[in-house]
Chain A
């Protein structure tokens, strides 16, 4: 019982090529910058877009197979799609939004209760808060009895203050439903909170897949390192790896140029909540040096030279 996708699609000079597998009850996070093909991947699985080549299997059903000429219409795929803006039908109340999916078979009552929509049955979508809209969209999606859930950046339209609530809400619902789920986002933290497995998508190519721990702790590609929040990724002119990533814990300041691996000039200093970020210019490159506020003594000013040592054991060697 799983979803297996291996698809390719060309649109103009954008080339999407991705392959992955999502097991029963697993939440697979698809991480990538905007425009990398995350949404298109979901739309291919849902049948809204048609891949040029490849296969999509869901629980032993073939949804799409270019070689055998199979291409199920979206209506027959049993794929639940949670849109970024929820796409609730604006002309229908919460109850009607769910009823239209159920037809005459069942009443919406059960879904309204399960997704905490009691008292909102006769509200139109525009009268609902972001969280309520999301619950309604999830209830409607579940009413179609999907076998896999696709969540397209469900938190991007939400204020930061509300995000925790929504994440907890989604996590609780996903726990109840136990369906294979693909969760698409450009935010590493959301993946951290919700998913066990991650795929890194960059410019249409699936760069890495694996458990959250392995990819976040030690990425193997430059795209993965950048997406997981590493600010210092530099191309290497020689050696077998194309890039090197320097995580914050690999860097420490030293007093003299003799001990330093990196020498540069401080271009800007930002004070954040916990850390001070020094923007260091090293020739053509910009290096981000994060120093905990408690350790930053204020002796460095903009324009000063800074000496940093890099622990080579902790550095990531990355493929492009």
Chain B
């Protein structure tokens, strides 16, 4: 059995979740504290969630394709996005970013603002306030967002096929393999990938719930709001 599709899926999901984790959290932290222009930025950040993935993929091709300026610069640096696994990572990042951003932002907004103000008056730097106070107290929300993003990345199809294509052994992820198998009339193979993807996603959700209830015991009692 060719394991390449699932290896590719996991690799792309892991790398894109790693990127989304930081980018999404940063965007969430910045907008949670914004006073002006919050609504507009929020709409822009959430857009990839409501757009059809093919539309997202289309825009990615327009911006990063071989004929675009960015595409040419990247091509000169030997960093191809189109028809490469990196393109699949980019597609996953864009599609999962709204999930990470929205979920962490609501976690940040639920945090008692006095905790941050207390940190400031106690002389703690912004970095310490974020990593030692905000982050641990919002950890259940952030972990949930991360697992959600990972699961979504694992199942990403539309935007990926637009920018990275469906090249076996190169960009064919498990969810693309299901499509190809069905097209070729190979039902057993499709079932196999369906089962594997479902198992992974289901496990991820179980892990999320387990972590959440443990964290809640430790953090939420007496703290936050």
Q: Say yes or no for A204: interface residue by CB 8 A criterion.
A: no
**Cα–Cα distance between A76 and B115 once the two chains are bound (Å):** 18
**Cα–Cα distance between A78 and B122 once the two chains are bound (Å):** 8
Grouping DSSP codes into helix (H, G, I), strand (E, B) and loop, the B interface class, with mixed when no group exceeds half, is helix
**Cα–Cα distance between A157 and B77 once the two chains are bound (Å):** 62
Q: Which residues of A contact B133 (CB under 8 A)?
A: 89, 91
Q: Which residues of A contact B128 (CB under 8 A)?
A: 100
Verify A100–B223 contact, CB threshold 8 A: no
**Cα–Cα distance between A258 and B133 once the two chains are bound (Å):** 71
How many residues in B have their beta carbons less than 8 Å from beta carbons of A? 24
Given contacts A83-B114, A90-B219, contact A140 B122 (CB under 8 A): yes
Q: Which residues from 47 to 93 on chain A have a C-beta closer than 8 Å to any C-beta of chain B?
A: 47-48, 73-81, 83, 85, 87-92
Q: Say yes or no for B123: interface residue by CB 8 A criterion.
A: yes
Q: Say yes or no for A141: interface residue by CB 8 A criterion.
A: yes
Given contacts A89-B115, A91-B218, A125-B222, contact A101 B137 (CB under 8 A): no
Q: Say yes or no for B117: interface residue by CB 8 A criterion.
A: yes
Q: Which residues from 115 to 143 on chain A have a C-beta closer than 8 Å to any C-beta of chain B?
A: 124-127, 140-141, 143
Q: Which residues of B contact A141 (CB under 8 A)?
A: 122
Q: Which residues from 107 to 122 on chain B have a C-beta closer than 8 Å to any C-beta of chain A?
A: 112, 114-115, 117-122
Verify B117–A87 contact, CB threshold 8 A: yes
User: Which residue of chain B has its CB nearest to the CB of A143?
Assistant: B122
- Can you name 22 A-B residue pairings with CB atoms under 8 Å? A47-B121, A48-B121, A74-B120, A75-B120, A77-B121, A81-B118, A87-B112, A87-B114, A89-B118, A89-B132, A89-B137, A90-B115, A90-B137, A90-B222, A91-B133, A91-B137, A100-B122, A100-B124, A126-B222, A126-B223, A141-B122, A144-B123
Q: Which residues of B approach A to under 8 Å, CB–CB?
A: 112, 114-115, 117-125, 128, 132-133, 136-137, 218-224
